[in-house]
């Protein structure tokens, strides 16, 4: 037996590890199980190139919980360690054995990619939860002697020969008093499922029952699927396999994804994964089934906020990259160059896939559009690169249910909807029921109306206006149609200016002043006598404010502004003007204004009751 001192600068590094190495103590299990998996993979590699002889045998990794002894054992049948190796790899903190291994073998085989650790600190994460750690190990090397190492968290350690028959390593954690939560079977089961669900070597978990000896414990709870779908080639997988994997990832979700994207990159970085498009529907709500990030099949995190662009976090699935650093902080990830490249690449892939589906099967794409449009619009708004690609397949839906790309749409309405100043006007509706009469009038003129009914449409419209040349978007009820798309100079008004000034105060007396501005327009005789419109600019600002657009709060505090447009060419307006009985004149004005209100769904409560009563009187 010998003792030694762990080679570190500080006298006692363990408190520091405990505090700062990982914010999450539960990570210890991930680290130790990945070490066991690494050791197993190394043995496979060495066997495949002939450096390790003999039968590999059953190479599972076992996790054994012993509540009575307050230990967790992580047992592998991997390469094991000699006494010298323990001194070197375990006691020389920050000296990464895995790194050395990769350097040594990187030219000989590609399998070294499958080695998880790069940092040389994973083992010590055990001290976040353990007051003592033992290692019992037998190296694969011929004639190697089994060793026992133990350390109680101080820099002193003990190392001696021991008895161990089979190759591999046991890591025995003696759980500290303040970490006894990790002696709960469910907790360990949960952690293993979270971090090890797709590790490449079989992981089994068992709990020692009372009276059982350590070597009698049944370890038969299989934790993982060692070859998850994303590690396979797309050509090996059928649609059904992708769906099955989705269920494996999110067992609590019953909806099926719309489609998937299989990522497979090896240059300029390594990345595999499968992304799924869920049905996103109208609102961008916090998603529970998030993208999971893996590093060589080890779960890293599902808060990918800083790793993939925001809009991609609406997707689901798995991203696996050895180039995403495992153990570092979020702010570091954000500035990490490879993370940035990865994120740009995924953005491109997603756009390519959408374009591919669009080109291959337009009908299918259109049928899914309502479910993905928020995602696409959000992407177009937030990533310039995505906009460039998406403008080819982003669709506009017309009120008649037809879809057109931006280019097709411009072609479709160019002739009819160009006004006298050569500007193209895109009409849209945000609520086909409420704006029904305006939509009908637009249709009568041969105009098309786009349906924009998702919450981010207000922002999307602004963006399109900036991108598309010479084009404005105007909601159908922003003004009377012939003012929105002005084809010619105003027709002469039948009412003179003096007559208008006479009538104006009477009309104003009929509606609440703070909400309605009365304006006279010389429209066609066929148009309604009075029409209520919502001026585009103010309404848009209010919509944006409701969406939480920056600096828009001011508009949100204003009341809804309407224009009460009086059609100065309508015979009924002339009739009202010429009515000598002032009571009758007021009654007719009120009735006409109420009709305009009614068609906008603005007539409610007492006003509506009075309107009905008055109507009956007028019919009499």
Site for ligand ADP in 380-399 (CB under 6 A): none
Out of 78, 122, 273, 278, the residue judged to bind Mg ion by CB under 5 A: 122
Give the N- to C-terminal CA distance of the chain in Å, as an integer. Answer: 115
Indicate the helix (H) or strand (E) that contains 449: strand 449-451
CA-CA distance, 225 to 202, in Å (whole number)?
7
Q: What does residue 426 show for φ and ψ, rounded to 5 degrees?
A: -95, 120
Question: Which stretch in 34-42, 287-295, 410-418, 460-468 sits in contact with ligand ADP by CB under 6 A?
Answer: 34-42
Q: In the β-sheet with 259-265, what is the strand arrangement from edge to edge?
A: 259-265, 271-277, 316-320, 292-295, 298-301
Residue 230: name the closest of 321, 143, 142, 315 by CA: 321
CA-CA distance, 25 to 125, in Å (whole number)?
8
Site for Mg ion in 489-548 (CB under 5 A): none
Residue 339: name the closest of 350, 326, 324, 327 by CA: 324
What string marks each residue from 31 to 50 as x (binds Mg ion by CB under 5 A) or -? ----x---------------
- To which residue do tokens 């204004």 refer? 593
Structure-derived torsion over alpha carbons of residues 461, 462, 463, 467, reported in degrees to the nearest 10: 100
- Beta strands of 162-248 (E only): which ranges? 168-175, 203-207, 221-222
Total residues at the site for Mg ion (CB under 5 A)?
3
Question: Which stretch in 71-79, 222-230, 284-292, 362-370 sits in contact with ligand ADP by CB under 6 A?
Answer: 71-79
CA atoms within 13 A on the CB side of 615: 11
Decide: 293 and 269 in contact? Cβ < 8 Å.
no
Total residues at the site for ligand ADP (CB under 6 A)?
22
- Residue 200, binding choice from Mg ion, ligand ADP, none, Cβ under 5 to 8 Å by partner class: none
Instruction: Considering the complex, state which of residue 42 and residue 459 has its C-beta at the smaller distance from ligand ADP.
Output: 42
Instruction: Considering the complex, state which of residue 146 and residue 531 has its C-beta at the smaller distance from ligand ADP.
Output: 146
Q: Is 196 in the site for ligand ADP (CB under 6 A)?
A: no
CA-CA distance, 34 to 40, in Å (whole number)?
10
- Residue 219, binding choice from ligand ADP, Mg ion, none, Cβ under 5 to 8 Å by partner class: none
- Residue 120, binding choice from ligand ADP, Mg ion, none, Cβ under 5 to 8 Å by partner class: ligand ADP
CA-CA distance, 320 to 576, in Å (whole number)?
75
CA atoms within 13 A on the CB side of 527: 24
Q: CB of 182: closest distance to ligand ADP in angstroms? A: 18
Name residues whose C-beta falls within 8 Å of residue 345's C-beta, 6 or more positions apart in sequence.
265, 269, 271
Q: CB of 137: closest distance to Mg ion in angstroms? A: 15
Q: CB of 116: closest distance to Mg ion in angstroms? A: 6
Q: Closest residue to ligand ADP, Cβ-based?
A: 117
CA atoms within 13 A on the CB side of 145: 10
Instruction: Considering the complex, state which of residue 64 and residue 380 has its C-beta at the smaller distance from ligand ADP.
Output: 64
Out of 25, 119, 212, 598, the residue judged to bind ligand ADP by CB under 6 A: 119
Instruction: Considering the complex, state which of residue 84 and residue 411 has its C-beta at the smaller distance from ligand ADP.
Output: 84
- Residue 169, binding choice from ligand ADP, Mg ion, none, Cβ under 5 to 8 Å by partner class: ligand ADP
Question: Which stretch in 118-126, 188-196, 197-205, 532-540 sits in contact with ligand ADP by CB under 6 A?
Answer: 118-126
Q: CB of 112: closest distance to Mg ion in angstroms? A: 14
- Residue 198, binding choice from Mg ion, ligand ADP, none, Cβ under 5 to 8 Å by partner class: none
Instruction: Considering the complex, state which of residue 90 and residue 300 has its C-beta at the smaller distance from ligand ADP.
Output: 90
Decide: 374 and 454 in contact? Cβ < 8 Å.
yes
Instruction: Considering the complex, state which of residue 97 and residue 257 has its C-beta at the smaller distance from ligand ADP.
Output: 97
Out of 80, 117, 273, 322, the residue judged to bind Mg ion by CB under 5 A: 117
Site for ligand ADP in 77-106 (CB under 6 A): 78-81, 89-90, 96-98
Alpha helices in 10-164 (DSSP H): 14-16, 27-48, 83-85, 97-105
What string marks each residue from 95 to 114 as x (binds Mg ion by CB under 5 A) or -? --------------------
Report in angstroms the alpha-carbon separations of 419 from 289, 481, 525: 48, 11, 21
Residues that bind Mg ion (CB under 5 A): 35, 117, 122
Residues that bind ligand ADP (CB under 6 A): 31, 35-36, 39, 76, 78-81, 89-90, 96-98, 117-123, 169
């Amino acid at each position: 037996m010998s003792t030694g001192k762990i080679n570190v600068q500080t006298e006692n590094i363990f408190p520091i590890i405990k505090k700062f190495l990982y914010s999450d103590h539960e990570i210890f299990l991930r680290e130790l199980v990945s070490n066991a998996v690494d050791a197993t993979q190394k043995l496979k590699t060495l066997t495949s190139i002939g450096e390790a002889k003999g039968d590999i045998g059953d190479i599972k990794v076992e996790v054994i919980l012993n509540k009575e002894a307050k230990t967790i054992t992580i047992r592998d049948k991997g390469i094991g360690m000699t006494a010298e190796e323990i001194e070197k790899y375990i006691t020389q903190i920050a000296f990464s054995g895995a790194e050395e291994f990769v350097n040594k073998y990187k030219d000989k085989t590609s399998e070294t990619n499958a080695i998880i650790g790069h940092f040389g600190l994973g083992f010590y994460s055990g001290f976040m939860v353990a007051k003592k750690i033992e290692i019992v190990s037998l190296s694969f090397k011929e004639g190697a002697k089994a060793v026992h190492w133990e350390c109680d968290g101080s820099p002193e350690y003990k190392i001696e020969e021991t008895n161990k028959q089979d190759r591999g390593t046991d890591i025995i954690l003696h759980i500290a008093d303040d970490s006894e939560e990790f002696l709960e079977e469910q907790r360990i089961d949960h952690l293993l499922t979270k971090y090890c669900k797709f590790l490449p070597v079989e992981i089994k978990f068992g709990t020692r029952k009372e009276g059982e000896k350590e070597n009698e414990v049944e370890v038969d709870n299989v934790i993982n699927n060692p070859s998850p779908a994303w590690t396979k080639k797309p050509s090996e997988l059928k649609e059904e396999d992708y769906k099955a994997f989705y269920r494996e990832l999110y067992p609590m979700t019953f909806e099926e994804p719309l489609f998937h994207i299989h990522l497979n990159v090896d240059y300029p970085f390594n990345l595999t994964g499968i992304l799924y498009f869920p049905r996103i529907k109208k609102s961008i709500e916090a998603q529970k089934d998030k993208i999971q990030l893996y590093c060589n099949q080890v779960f890293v995190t599902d808060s990918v906020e800083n790793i993939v662009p925001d809009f991609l976090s609406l997707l689901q699935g798995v991203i696996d990259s050895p180039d995403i650093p495992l153990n570092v902080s979020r702010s570091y990830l954000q500035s990490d160059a490879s993370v940035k490249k990865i994120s740009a690449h995924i953005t491109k892939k997603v756009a390519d896939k959408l374009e591919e589906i669009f080109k291959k099967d337009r009908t299918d794409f259109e049928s899914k559009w309502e479910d993905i449009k928020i995602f696409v619009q959000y992407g177009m708004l937030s990533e310039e690169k995505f906009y460039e690609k998406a403008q080819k397949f982003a669709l506009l839906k017309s009120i008649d249910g037809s879809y057109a790309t931006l280019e097709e749409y411009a072609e479709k309405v160019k002739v009819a909807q160009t006004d006298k100043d050569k500007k193209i006007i895109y009409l849209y509706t945000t609520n086909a029921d409420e704006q029904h009469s305006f939509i009908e009038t637009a249709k009568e003129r041969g105009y098309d109306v786009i349906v924009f009914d998702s919450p981010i449409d207000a922002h999307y419209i602004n963006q399109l206006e900036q991108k598309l040349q010479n084009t404005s978007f105007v909601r159908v009820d922003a003004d009377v149609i012939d003012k929105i798309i002005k084809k010619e100079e105003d027709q002469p008004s039948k009412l003179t200016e003096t007559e208008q000034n006479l009538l104006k105060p009477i009309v104003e007396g009929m509606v609440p002043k703070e909400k309605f501005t009365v304006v006279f327009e010389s429209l066609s005789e066929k148009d309604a006598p009075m029409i209520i419109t919502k001026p585009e600019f103010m309404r848009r600002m209010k919509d944006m404010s409701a969406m939480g657009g920056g600096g828009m709060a001011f508009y949100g505090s204003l009341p809804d502004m309407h224009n009460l447009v009086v059609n100065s060419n309508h015979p009924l307006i002339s009739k009202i003007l010429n009515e000598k009985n002032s009571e009758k004149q007021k009654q007719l004005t009120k009735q006409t204004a109420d009709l305009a209100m009614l068609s906008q769904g603005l007539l409610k409560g007492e006003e509506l009751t009075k309107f009905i009563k008055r109507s009956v009187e007028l019919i009499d």
